[in-house]
Structure 1
Amino acid sequence: MKATIRVQLSIMMFLEFFIWGAWFVTMGTFLAKAFSATGGQMAMAYETQSIGAIVAPFIIGLIADRYFSAQKILGVLHLLGAGLLYMAGTSENFDTFYPYILIYMILYMPTLALVNSVAFRQMKDPAKDFALIRVLGTIGWIVAGLVIGFLAWESDNVLQNTFIMAAGAAALLGVFSFTLPETPPVVDKTEKVTVRDILGLDALGMLKDKKYLVFFIASILICIPLAFYYQHANQYLNELGMEGAAGKMTFGQMSEIAFMLLLPIFLKKYGIKMTLLVGMLAWVVRYLLFAYGDAGENTWMLIFGIILHGICYDFFFVSGQIYTDFKAGEKFKSSAQGLITLATYGLGMLVGFRLAGYITDLNALTDGGHNWYDIWVLPAGIAGAVFVFFLVAFKNEKIEVKE
């Protein structure tokens, strides 16, 4: 890969995840403080991610695989998203905030598959090269959290600024996307178009492969407990009195960098099954640490639980994206990435966000706090069950990583 292309892809990944990390982590705290939102309302707000992820394969299958260059669609979606983020940040109540964030996430979630598609198309050996590019996305997420912590937006109760910051970054990426390497459609647009093509369902043929089907099911199930972390971790840490919670949560992304670089080595030596199992087990351990941790003597449990994010995310999500690219046919790599986005950020988290909101409201205390022990034990148990299912049902498969 040319150095200039590597730099371009790295900037793309940095901005893509800076935008997301700039507002998503602290949205629960923002909604609770600014709008006195209930757990159910927080679930509605976070579910917009899942709705966007479910729509994503249809958009990708229509425009990126068949008609328009991926980098151009990426630019248009981010420019539109910049305006929506600004409107969300200036909303005065939950009822006006929700429509903006819903439309925004419907536009944003397809970009996750698009940036992967643009990156993969430039790589001769994705299993080896992708992690080195994707790590810049992690750094982008870290920088966003550190900015929030440095400016003390949590303690000063001005988290609406996070949406304004994200809007600026989205506008920048929108313009920058038009300078990215040309990533034209891979399907001949003169071919007869069927409903299956328009909806981007070609990648569903991957589910005929028993190994990938088991992986697909496990991906949906493991995202149910995952949703608890994204929706309530920042709120939990702030309720415990941890100062600069958003900044400290970037320790997870810092560890993600290290494990991202180790991922190709681990994949080559142990195969996809062991890699995914390690990622699942890390979720169990993390939630148990949260259940028993506190802001006093057991603060180390909270910090260790945060640091585990590197294993939790890289060894399941990033390896899953690589595995999906490995399994996909040449024609439908974008559709395949959209499919795994649907499974993880869509179906699994849709159930997870709703369950997390219900459980959190169920454990609300009269003083405005929550019984967090009971909240965290449940996702730990679910993650443990998925771990056992995958251990028994999935047959190991090694992905060749070229030297």
Structure 2
Amino acid sequence: MVAAEGVLPGTERSASSMLTTRLSALMFMQFFVWGAWNVTLGLVMQTVGIGNLIANAFSVGPIASIVGSFLLGMAAARYLSPKMLMVILHLVGGAILFALPALVAPGHGDSFVWLLLGYMILYMPTVGLANTIALKSFGERVDRFPFVRAFGTLGWIAAGLIIGWAGLSASPQIFVVAGVVSVALGFYSFTLPNVEPDAPQSEGLVRQVLCVDAFGLMRQRSFLIFIVCATLISIPLAMYYAYASAYIGSAGIENVGGTMAIGQMSELAFMFSMPWLYRRFGVKPLLLVGMVAWALRYMLFAIGDGGGSIWAIYLGVALHGVCYDFFFVAGAIYTGTIATPKGVNAQAQGMLTLFTYGVGMLLGAQIGGILYAQLPATPSVADWHHLWWYPAIAAALIAILFQLTFRGNRPEEARA
């Protein structure tokens, strides 16, 4: 690559390296905040005696994704830059996190769930905003995004290790840890690249609130197919988060947390390989492999046990890197390539969050709850096997649908 006139090659490389470092810090803190409380919240609520509200607490995320995505669509495209939204949402969100521990107690459980919903309405849009800032800052070099996004996984892992090391896994003080980092990220966001907000094609307020311009991207057939499949594949994702740990415990594996961490390590490894894979194979093969991996994972869970087939459980968990990175990380890049020429990147990333973490995860929580209710009070491994066949078959059908209908492949084709 030829350096711009008057810019030394070494200076250009140094600036690029500094940008990558700044965005990596953004992603690290963004997911540290979430990972600090999300992983052990159920244990905390059970410990303090409000375990009957765990299902409600874990339903607020998908609901907040839907509500927050519409609010983001209005603000990001009409009023504030992505950078300033990050500042406001994380500072206000941090204040709420500091208030939550006092409500994690009998007699205050309902208030806790409602306030947690309020917090998540503020937090969930920042996931799309962080993606938008990174993708817009990199410009044409979107292949650098997976490397930066990998630091989000590192932040999630670091949060869990710190919470465990500090002995806070069953303490409401997990929200204080998250609050400290949220406030720090709010102030750090002042230093982020000053990317421009979306330039809306229409000045109508209602059109902005409803993200009409972003939804208009689905007039492109391949992008519509991607959104549909992304929503559907998020259903088994929700089932994994909700029930994998219980299944692993039923199989007789004592170190459930350590076993689940294998999936995060796998996610991290594949995240770093994404730039090369994206350049080498393009969009469609990565998305398809991600969906096939979901089907394979649940097939492995449907045959794994605590005896001679225990390898299937470990392999199924280790596939998390392929399941998540090949679809969701590649999907964020693909969404950026489609949205950027239309000037609706922030709206489109928010819309993707709405359909995946919102609609898909909410459906997954509800469908998973129906399937789980059919199991005995203390399900055996054989009982779990019956449950896992449902998402396995569903993921396989989604992969077939995607293969037969999706046409976009390489980045240059997506921009055409």
Same fold per superposition (TM over 0.5):
yes
Give the structure 2 partner of residue 105 of structure 1.
120
The 3-state SS of whatever aligns with 1:160 is: coil
* Equivalent residue in structure 2 for 1:323, among 304, 311, 334: 334
1:338 and 2:345 matched: no
Change (3 A) 1:366 1:345: closer
Give the structure 2 partner of residue 22 of structure 1.
36
230-239 vs 260-269, greater mean Cα deviation = 230-239
Give the structure 2 partner of residue 301 of structure 1.
312
The offset of 1:214, in angstroms, is: 0.8
Write the distance in 1 (CA, Å) between the matches of 2:174 and 2:250: 20
Counterpart of 2:82, as a letter, is A
1:274 and 2:285 matched: yes
For these two proteins, the number of residue pairs brought into alignment is 395
Q: Which stretches in structure 1 are left out of the alignment for 5+ residues?
A: none
Write the distance in 1 (CA, Å) between the matches of 2:34 and 2:125: 13
1:137 and 2:137 matched: no
Give the structure 2 partner of residue 216 of structure 1.
227
Give the structure 2 partner of residue 122 of structure 1.
137
Give the structure 2 partner of residue 360 of structure 1.
372
Q: Deviations over 1:110-161 (max 9, x none)?
A: 001111111112113243111121111111112123334445655xxx1534
1:165 and 2:177 matched: yes
Change (3 A) 1:341 1:83: same
Change (3 A) 1:198 1:348: same
Change (3 A) 1:160 1:372: farther
- Contact 2:29/2:181, CA 8 A, preserved across alignment: yes
* Equivalent residue in structure 1 for 2:61, among 49, 52, 62: 49
- Contact 2:305/2:381, CA 8 A, preserved across alignment: no
* Equivalent residue in structure 2 for 1:258, among 243, 255, 269: 269
Q: Deviations over 1:31-73 (max 9, x none)?
A: 45544645xx544322211112112332222222221121221
- Contact 1:149/1:244, CA 8 A, preserved across alignment: no
Q: Which stretches in structure 2 are left out of the alignment for 5+ residues?
A: 1-14
Larger relative contact order, structure 1 or 2 (CA cutoff 8 Å, min sep 6): 1
Write the distance in 1 (CA, Å) between the matches of 2:175 and 2:382: 27
TM-score w.r.t. the length of structure 1 is: 0.89
Counterpart of 1:62, as a letter, is M
Write the distance in 2 (CA, Å) between the matches of 1:285 and 1:151: 37
User: Matches of residues 180-191 of structure 1 in structure 2 within 5 Å?
Assistant: 180-187=192-199
- Contact 1:54/1:346, CA 8 A, preserved across alignment: yes
Write the distance in 2 (CA, Å) between the matches of 1:241 and 1:159: 26
The 3-state SS of whatever aligns with 2:162 is: helix
The 3-state SS of whatever aligns with 1:353 is: helix
User: Matches of residues 369-384 of structure 1 in structure 2 within 5 Å?
Assistant: 371-384=383-396
175-184 vs 337-346, greater mean Cα deviation = 175-184
Write the distance in 1 (CA, Å) between the matches of 2:94 and 2:16: 30
- Contact 1:57/1:199, CA 8 A, preserved across alignment: no
Counterpart of 2:60, as a letter, is T
Write the distance in 2 (CA, Å) between the matches of 1:238 and 1:30: 18
TM-score w.r.t. the length of structure 2 is: 0.86
TM-align CA RMSD: 2.7
Change (3 A) 1:379 1:259: same
Sequence identity (%): 38
Counterpart of 2:69, as a letter, is P
Write the distance in 1 (CA, Å) between the matches of 2:141 and 2:61: 26
